[in-house]
Structures are given as C-alpha cells and as structure tokens.
Structure 1
C-alpha cells in the first residue's frame, strides 16, 4: 500500500502543471529504476525509463520528452524498441559527459595460468556463446590462422593453406570454426561455419550466402578463426562453450584482468513503426554505441541483382519512421552495420556522427523489394519482357525517401564483411549524402546498388583510401541492373533499341554527383557499372582512379577534373545518350568495345596533342584542346586553373576546391590525411623526374652512373630506387634496384609510360611485368 502511495505521489509530481522539469528523465549506471528519474535521483535502465516517458506522453502527448543519460556505460539486457507511442522523444547524453550504450555483458572471472603463457577461466553455464571479447575497453583477437597482422592488406592476414587437410589434422575439434575468405574475383567476401570434416580431411562448411555473385572462395585470401589449437599469439582468445572455459594469451609478462566483457546484442535501439503508424520525431543525440555482435552469418538476403546480400539490422535500426534524427553519435566498433534505415522511412537524417571500424556498412538505406515492379535478384536472373510490369516507378511506398547522411566521419568500416560500404543505398529515392568524410574501406565509400528509384544527391563528400581489400570497384560505385537489363547483351540491345523508355522505368529521377573529391588506388574514383543510368556528374575532383561509364544510358559528365587518369567508357549502347564534355583529363581515353560514342564527347581538355589525336581518331573531341592545364597549386590540392589556361577555352569552369568532407572540426581532426597526388604523372618525362609511388621512390634513369649501377644498356625504364620493407610496392612484387622495362605487354621507357599503363589497369590486378633485376630481365606478376 505504501509503495502504491509513493508511486502515485511521484506521478502526480511528474504531471504537475507548470513544471517543465517533469518532461525530463535522467538515467545513470549507478541509478535505480525505483527512483523518480530526476537529476539527483536518476533511473538506471532505458527500459524502465520507457515506461515512465510513456506515462508522461499519455498525460500530455503534445509535449516532448527528453531522456538524459549521465556519464557512464549502460549495458541493456535487451534491445530498446521504440514504437509509435514513443514519438516526440529525445535520448541524449548530459552535456559534457560521455554516455555509452553497450551491447556487451560484463563478467568477472578468475584466471589460472597454464602452459605456453595461456590463461584459463571458468565461465557461468548461462554464457552459451562469445563472439567478441573486450578487456580494458579493447577488442581482443579471436584465435586465428594466420595470426593477426595489422599491416596485411586482406583480413589482417590470409593464407592459402588456412583450410588445407594438413592443417585441419592439427585441430582436435574443428566444429564451430569460422572461415572468412574473399570472393574468387575479389567482389566482396564469404563467411562459413565449419560443421565437420569429410573423409578426405576437408572441412565441411555451412554458409557462403553473403555474396550475390556465387563463384567460390579466393584461393589465397582466406583465414580461419575460433579454433583452440590456433590460440598461439598475444591477445588471442578462445571460448569452449561445452566446457564453459575461456582461454586467453596476454602479452608476455602480463596477467589478464578479472573484469571482462563479451558482445551480446546485435541491435541496441530499434525505431519501429509502419507507413500507417510511423514513429515520429525521435532524436538520438551525443550517444556512443558499441559492443554489438558480428552479424556476418545473418547476411543472407540478396539485393536486386547487385553483388550484395544484406542483414537488415544495425546498432541502430530505423524502420517506419518520420522526421527522426541520429546526430553527433559515436558508433565505436559495432559488430555489423552501424545504422540501418530499413523499408518505409521519410526524413530520417544521420548527421555529425563518427562511425569507426563497423563490422559491415556505416549507414545503409534499403527499401523493400515488394515495392519493386518485376524484381530480379541475381545477376543472371531476368523477368521476361512478355511477363514484365512496364508501369514506371515503385509499386508502393515501402522504401526510404527524403532521407540524409550528412557531416559524418565514416572510417575503417567493413572490418569483417567486405561487401559493404561507408554509405549504401538500395531501393530508395531522393537520398542526400553530403559533407561526409569516408575513408579506409574494403570496398566502395558510397555504393548505389541499382537504379530504383534515383533522385539521390551526392555532394561535398571526401572519399578516399577505398577498395583496399577487393577489386573491380570504385570510391563511388553503382550498378544499374534494372528491369531493362539482361545478362545477354544482344537481348538487351534489341529491347532498348525497340523501346528506349524502358531504361528509365526504375531509374525514374536523375541522380546528381557534384562537388565531391574521390580517390581509389585499386579501381576507379567514380565507377558507374552494368547499366547505371540517369546520372548528372559534375564539378568533381578525381584524384587517381579516373571515371568509368559502362553499359548505361543518359549520363551527363561535365566539368570534372580527372588527375593522373582519364575517361573509361566500357561497352556502350549505340543509343546511350551519354555526354562527356568540358572535363580535364590527364591521360588518353581508355575505351573498351565502344562503337558509338554517345550523344556528345567533345570540348574536353587533354594533357598533350597525342592524347587528343588518339581521341579524334575515334570521331570524338573535334573541339577539344590540349596542353598544360596550368593548375593553380597542384601540390596543395588547388586544381582550379589559372587565367589563360586552355581548359577554360575548352569550356571548363573553375569550381571551389574546398568544402569536401565533414564541416565538423572535431571529426576532421580524427580523419586520416587525404593522399593528394604529389605530381601530375603526365608531366613526369624529364631526366630529373621522380615520384613516390606506393611507398617506393621511382625515377627515370639518368646518366652513365645509374646505367652502371643497374647494369642497363640504355636510359630506358622506371627505376625503383628504394622499395622499403613492408611497403605496398614491395607487397606488389617490386624490390629495391628494380628497373621496370615492360608492363602489360607494353614497353616502359620512363615514369610517364609506367603510370600511363598502370593507372588505367590498376583495377585488374595481377599485371604481367618485366623488371631488370640482378643484371638480368626477370618476369614478375604484380599483385594488387
């Protein structure tokens, strides 16, 4: 009776008219859910606070509620689900304090030292699995082969023998081991669970559904984890679920802490409504999200004809919401996606956030395939034209529209899942991606999976250090395998010639890419692949990889700057309607199977007369010009051109060389430096020419001294003066003192030749080369 009276009094106090503080609820990790939720007597959990704010809204639904988290880490036992009755709500940290919402469970253990420096601790039987282990706030390494190597390009270390029968023989209990591998063509990756061993000694695997272009595992780039016998390096751990034992190998001379944490939840907050009953006006602000499990085995659902499958989840999952914001939050090493905006959503914004080392994608906007007319789900799948719905646009509203990702720093994502992106867009409309800094990712920084339904605006982004672990991709990548698209080119040619309107059935609105700066060293800076259509691309700086247009329609590319690379038109349609004009290119065009050069390719600026004439032989660029573009300050990244530049006479117009990436200074300070090109490669032909390339110093051969030192009969070739141990150039196959003489079947006389051959072909990898090494010609294959 007394408890009821006290609760009633607290509620009366909370609802007393004129008391604005009653619309605030305070939480603290040291709080108590029986407290009233004041600053002095805070509650402890979000779930208990949810009951309180629902009571407040029931009294005054017109007044918003603010939940204020005081300093500390919150460990919810279950995901907080916000429904339509939770609208007009802000969850935020107390000003100046750090509030962490962690999906990890704390655990106290007692360690006993064992052989080989490995400690063991018993774990309560209620703990049935561990996916990620934390000590002193740091993620530890699940026992693996090969061992973790922070300098390795792929998966922090891979080996061809990771699944060899000889290695498997050394494992007593391989069941439950986890296999990660790149796709055979390096289009993303695969993940498997070992379920047993067959009579030939090979692992029996379950999984591999994480890629929508099935071709099998990469022969070299694979590794295995969660095997007890592979626990042999500092910071590695293994959990024996049957024996309830945890094993850990600390650094030499150290003892593991008794307080540990292990990941438990896949989602921390879910905002879930519907189109008819959306969740409205929810803001998550100044919060940190961490400690979620990896979700790679849940990544099963194929997207429309792209190379992706997805898991519709994330540390924060938003579905059926309107006018909701996730702002200034820190997503710290989430196991899967950081933020997933799923199906029907309108005006959902993610802004000012820092997304660091997400296991999968940073931010994803993905609609429901039931909103798509005549959907097809794999590259070779096709709905026959006779059975196709030719109604333009979506079938219903179950997709994100008018949403945005702005002013975020997204870095080092795709830690586990390589078919991922900084920002992913699929089956959505009018998504704005603006002022984001996105860098160090295994695949694209920004990816659009298909044309449904266009109207996106990508502007003022800084995207670099991309496609670091995969291939045939770009800093920006898109596919356009929409309704019109057919895997048989002749069938598609006939259909689009008969009715050009079918190419815009799904790509209804023009997607604009403007005022961005992109860099990709293992593919293209801008890559419009397989039928991508209805794009307007202008005022972008491409720092290294150039721009590719493949098999699409109605792309206008104008007033862009393509440094140390060029324009890559691939297998165009006869009636593509493409336009390429007023651009600055710094190498010859690189066409592949182009019979008709679109509606207009003209009034561009080339680096020299030879490149211009090579284009004019194909019937393009009658009014284009060539020469030194006269960049204002190439070394410091100002690629505007000086008055009097021939580029201006060709129709190029200067645009601002700043305003790329997040405008929030605290986030800019956390970003890695942008690798600006040190020199314009097309001008590296003189004897003094020297460049820094993938960590190596490369120069032209100069004089008898260098001829004598290398043993060359002449002064031809690209001389690798120094190739530091561990540099990317060394990993590709070069050694100090090498002189590159031939690449991809073409002679290399100097740096200019080398880069002119390498740059447009970097996406292919495994280029055949001839180097002069130890006084003789040696054939090598350059890996990526």
Structure 2
C-alpha cells in the first residue's frame, strides 16, 4: 500500500493496518495513523472512507498542536472513497443514534419510545425531519402579558400535558427576530389560566425586545404581547408526521428544564409503519471541531465528498430560551447597549457581545482548511463556521469559552458543498481573512431559528462569496456585517431566490455597517441575480444601518417588495448603485441622499422581466453568470 493512503471501513478493525484489504474501522484510529506520519510527509496523505455510516461518540477533533495539520507543504485529506471518480461511495459521519423500542400508545394513533436523559429538539424519520407538534396561535383566548408570563381567559391550556416542556415562539418580536421561551408552569381556575414563563429567559426578553422612546421603555410594537405558536406537548400531537418530547419525571432537577428521563411521541404519516421505519435523534452538538493556537494554527486539512449529519443543540431548551438578535447572533444574558433608530427619539437594545449560533462543523484559528463537495444535512444548529476572535466550543458539551482569545482564520475555503435541512445558518465566516465561499448549493436552512441566513460574513477581510445558489431561506440569503476590521468583501454572481419567507426587514443580500475605508477597500456586490424576496417590508438588495463604501453594480433584482433602499438610519455613506437592472425604482431615487450614488440603472417591466433582461446584452450576461458552476 502506498505510504500516503489509508483506508477506513465500517467492517474494518482498528487493529488492522489501514490497507484496502484490512481497513481501519474508525476515524480516531485513522487520526492516530495520520499523526504518526505528518512530520515526514512527502505527498498529500489521503484517508479514504468506504461506504457506510460512521457513528461518532464524540466530535472528531483536529488539533494543530496534536499533529493533525499537513506538513512540508502537503495536505491531510479525509475523503469518501472514489471521490472525484464516476462512482464515489457515500461515507456518512453521524452524530445521532437510532431510536428503537417503539410501541403504540393505547387508545390512540401515536407511538412512543424511551430516549433516557436525551433532551432532543429534532427527530428524523426515514431521513426526513419530523416537525415538533405545534399549535397556532400559541395561547388561545384573550391574552394579557404580565411580569411573569401571560394570563388568558381560556381554560384550554390547563389541559396541556407536561407544561414545563412547552416552548412558546414569538415570531417578529423585532421584524427580523424570533424568540423561543420555555414555560415553567400552567395553573388556573374555571375562568382563566396563568402561564408562568421560565426564567431568566422571559426577563431577559423584556429587556432585549422593548423599544425605547425618549429613553423610556415602550410596548408600542406589541412586542411579546402573545406567542405566535406553541410547540412540544403531546397535547399538540394532531398532525401526522410530527413528534413531541415529554419528560417522565415530575420535577425539574436543579432548575434544568431539559433534565430527567424523556419519552418521544410520534404520530405516523398514513403510509408509515413505526415498527419498520428508521428513527434517528442527534446526540452530539459538534461533528467536526478544528482548532489551532497563535503559535500552531491547524492548517492544510481537506474534507471532501463526505455527508455530515445528525448534530443537535439543546441550549434553547434551557431556562434562558433562545433570544434571537440578528442573523446568527443571539442574546445569552450579557450586557445590553442602546442604539438610535430615529435621530435619538427611538432606541433599540442590542447585545454588547452577542453569542453566535454554533455550527456542527466549526474551525477556529485555522489556515488552508478546505471543505469541498460535502453534504451538510439534518443539523440542529448551524452547518459550517470559520471563526477567529469568537471561537466555537471545542467539545460537544456546549460551553462558551472566553471570547477574543483566538486569532483570525486565513485562506480557508468552502467549495461545491450542498447544505440543506439545517436548523440554523449555512456558512458563517467571523473574523476571517482570504476566505472563499464558492459554488455551494444552500437551501432550506433556518428551519428552526428563522433569523439565520444562508451565508454570514462578519468583521472579515478579503472574503469572496461567489457562484452560490441560495434559496428557500426564512430570512436574508447573504449577510455581510461590517466593522473596524472589515474590508474587500466580494459578493459576486450568486443566484439568490425565495428568501425572506418568514421574517421581515431583510433582503436577498443584506449589508450593514462600514465595509472598508474606500471604494477600493470596501464591499463589491456584482453580477448577482436576486428574485422572489417574498414577505412584505423587504428589499432585494439591502444596504442598512450605516453601510459605507459599498459598490452595488450590475445586479438583477426583481419580484421583491422593493429592489433597494436608499434612506436608512444611520445614513448610507459612499454607497453606489451602478448599472443594475430592477423592476421598480427604489423609493427616493429622484432625490437620493448625499451618501448615495445612482447611475446607469435600468427599470424593466415587472411582467416579462426575465425576457426583457435576456434581451439586453448586459442583462443576458448577468443571467448567464449567476449561480453554481462546475469546478
């Protein structure tokens, strides 16, 4: 066997040498063999994974200080066997476990199975995500908000089973946000019901989401007035194909809403037989963790042709809930600051140091890491993250290390992957440099945390987001957040459609904050096709909240509520809209503000827009160039 090839197979043995005939059985065994060779590499070292499912019992952790990096200018490659050939095999890395022992519930159509101390938020049935049992609206009757929760004149909630497992969802607490908060208890009499919410989440929500007028809290938007839906009670289990997780013990342990023993209830689809169906729940919160240090970054590692699935995230089920702020950011109890919305008259609370939704495959302080031709699917938080100044946890336990301790990630690439069926966002680049996000297909993300985008770029430099196809996203497709370290980001020739399917005040492509120090060092948004930005109060191309040094050139925008926005607070500064095609003029185009340049843009008829665009030579080039390319 060549010294630069190792083989792993589900039928192998970790005591074998890793040859094609005698493969290893697990990734940890392959990793030990890799570490023994990286110091003397004379070619790329390739670990070939044969077809099958590899169930991880802990995150596969690549550590720059432990010898997991490539050496002598060569790479360590973990790949599916046959990658790049006409017949690649499917190697699956799963952080889940099968659920067996299902039995019918007497007197009903539901089935149940014990899952022990696992507080899962996801269930996958024959490869399909089963939604949690849900009712709308979240509370029946006439609802009044109180300091500790809600009161309703309906007595129906008193019949709901296991109230402390119920989660109330507040869609649109800000137009771009959604909160998830747990119930602590339900009580009442024959006239009314009192819903007591779990703390500290409910108290924090009132601090985060209340607008301020003249410095005083105001409930003018009806924020948190009543939940839009309620999830996760067996009492809600009426829709076939849905599930609920119920606690078996009567008391929460130490205030932990997720503690104790649990049972899954599932209502089968008409053609499903739970006795023969495959049920999987996620156990791990991380599948792959890559980490380095200032002196020894993890570098020169490639993952390609793999399927990575069945990771979860249980923090939102805790007493703090999930208080979404914007994009991938949420409030975990840290200090809040106030920002002006309307020239000092209205203010909005924002987290000073927001937490980030974690990713199943997360890298911190890395160089030349490549994720190519993989599929990231059936995930309970985000899919992929490269972060510098705000590192991800390095274990599956969910701890948050101190922020700001890692250096930037550099020269990494996310190329040609498929990302789908993800609870959070697709790809997150935070404090990255020279990063490429290209030729990916990203769709049906934000399945649970609706504010998460397909692509998130924050405080990063020289990032290219190009030739991706992005669709069916509940909020914005691509978000670029500026800042002091941001600059030279390019969002080029992407196809973005059916975004903003749930929330509002976003866009197909959304930018906020200063993006550089000049047009040369700023952000370029060019050659993108952005269509079907669905819900009202949205923009196809959205330069928001003090965007500066942005060039928006040669894009096609149609079937949006509005193609672009010119006036925001704080105002735009040095933002140029040049040679774009859209089906309506932006509001205020005839009197643009001082920081905005409009030149050479073309309005085409809304009916027949695509035909008119294809008939224009420049428009035809935009249509032909946007979207995925082979490579």
The two structures have a TM-score, normalised by structure 1, of: 0.62
Give the equivalent residue in structure 2 for 1:39: 20
Task: Say if 2:81 is the partner of 1:94.
Answer: yes
Task: Say if 2:581 is the partner of 1:561.
Answer: yes
1:205 to 186, 198, 201: 198
1:457 to 479, 490, 506: 490
Question: Superposition pairs for residues 490-505 of structure 1, below 5 Å?
Answer: none
Give the equivalent residue in structure 2 for 1:135: 125
Change (3 A) 1:189 1:245: closer
Give the equivalent residue in structure 2 for 1:414: 446
2:269 to 251, 254, 277: 251
Find the residue that maps to 1:175 and give its secondary structure: helix
How far apart are 1:277 and its partner, in Å? 1.3
Question: Superposition pairs for residues 490-569 of structure 1, below 5 Å?
Answer: 509-519=521-531, 520-522=533-535, 523-545=538-560, 546-549=563-566, 550=568, 551-566=571-586, 568=588
How far apart are 1:78 and its partner, in Å? 0.4
**Cα deviation code 1:308-335 (max 9, x no counterpart):** 8543521210111111100111111211
Change (3 A) 1:654 1:661: closer
Change (3 A) 1:348 1:570: farther
Give the equivalent residue in structure 2 for 1:195: 184
**Whole-Å separation in 1 of the counterparts to 2:387 and 2:38:** 26
Give the equivalent residue in structure 2 for 1:104: 96
Change (3 A) 1:583 1:212: farther
Change (3 A) 1:227 1:281: same
How far apart are 1:159 and its partner, in Å? 7.3
Task: Say if 2:299 is the partner of 1:280.
Answer: yes
**Cα deviation code 1:406-453 (max 9, x no counterpart):** 001111111111221111111111110000011111111111123441
CA contact (8 A) 1:294 1:336 kept: yes
Question: Superposition pairs for residues 47-66 of structure 1, below 5 Å?
Answer: 47-58=28-39, 60-66=40-46
CA contact (8 A) 2:119 2:262 kept: no
Change (3 A) 1:184 1:241: closer
**Whole-Å separation in 1 of the counterparts to 2:183 and 2:474:** 25
Gaps of at least 5 residues in structure 2 are 71-75, 83-87, 144-149, 211-221, 249-260, 317-321, 323-329, 340-348, 389-407
CA contact (8 A) 1:128 1:241 kept: no
Gaps of at least 5 residues in structure 1 are 1-18, 147-156, 367-398, 483-502, 588-606, 608-630, 643-651, 666-784
How far apart are 1:108 and its partner, in Å? 2.8
CA contact (8 A) 1:562 1:585 kept: yes
Give the equivalent residue in structure 1 for 2:57: 77
Find the residue that maps to 1:468 and give its secondary structure: coil
Give the equivalent residue in structure 2 for 1:623: none
- Higher normalized contact order (CA 8 Å, seq sep 6+, divided by chain length): 2
- The range that moved more, 103-112 or 555-564, is 103-112
Task: Say if 2:616 is the partner of 1:641.
Answer: yes
**Cα deviation code 1:486-505 (max 9, x no counterpart):** xxxxxxxxxxxxxxxxx966
Find the residue that maps to 1:168 and give its secondary structure: helix
CA contact (8 A) 1:189 1:211 kept: no
**Whole-Å separation in 1 of the counterparts to 2:205 and 2:306:** 30
**Whole-Å separation in 1 of the counterparts to 2:496 and 2:26:** 38
**Whole-Å separation in 2 of the counterparts to 1:101 and 1:205:** 35
Find the residue that maps to 1:100 and give its secondary structure: strand
**Whole-Å separation in 2 of the counterparts to 1:87 and 1:566:** 50
- The range that moved more, 578-587 or 471-480, is 578-587
Change (3 A) 1:429 1:210: farther
Find the residue that maps to 2:359 and give its secondary structure: coil
Give the equivalent residue in structure 1 for 2:400: none
Select the structure of larger CA radius of gyration.
Answer: 1
Question: Superposition pairs for residues 566-577 of structure 1, below 5 Å?
Answer: 566=586, 568=588, 574=594, 576=595
**Whole-Å separation in 1 of the counterparts to 2:368 and 2:302:** 9
1:269 to 288, 292, 301: 288
CA contact (8 A) 1:312 1:342 kept: no
CA contact (8 A) 1:177 1:224 kept: yes
Find the residue that maps to 2:382 and give its secondary structure: coil
RMSD in angstroms over aligned alpha carbons?
Answer: 3.3
Which has the larger helix fraction? 1
CA contact (8 A) 1:210 1:296 kept: no
CA contact (8 A) 1:296 1:416 kept: no
The two structures have a TM-score, normalised by structure 2, of: 0.76
CA contact (8 A) 2:209 2:223 kept: no
Change (3 A) 1:504 1:456: closer
Change (3 A) 1:533 1:570: farther
**Whole-Å separation in 2 of the counterparts to 1:477 and 1:210:** 25
**Whole-Å separation in 2 of the counterparts to 1:662 and 1:211:** 43
Find the residue that maps to 1:479 and give its secondary structure: strand
Find the residue that maps to 2:38 and give its secondary structure: helix
Give the equivalent residue in structure 1 for 2:435: 403
**Whole-Å separation in 2 of the counterparts to 1:572 and 1:530:** 16
Give the equivalent residue in structure 1 for 2:228: 222
Change (3 A) 1:253 1:326: closer
**Whole-Å separation in 2 of the counterparts to 1:113 and 1:292:** 28
**Whole-Å separation in 2 of the counterparts to 1:220 and 1:565:** 37
Change (3 A) 1:135 1:472: closer
How far apart are 1:265 and its partner, in Å? 1.2
- How many residue pairs align between the two structures? 526
Find the residue that maps to 1:229 and give its secondary structure: helix
Find the residue that maps to 1:131 and give its secondary structure: coil
CA contact (8 A) 2:135 2:231 kept: yes
How far apart are 1:132 and its partner, in Å? 1.6
Change (3 A) 1:210 1:288: farther
**Cα deviation code 1:205-251 (max 9, x no counterpart):** 34367999624756576222221222233223233343543322223
Which has the larger strand fraction? 2
How far apart are 1:51 and its partner, in Å? 1.4
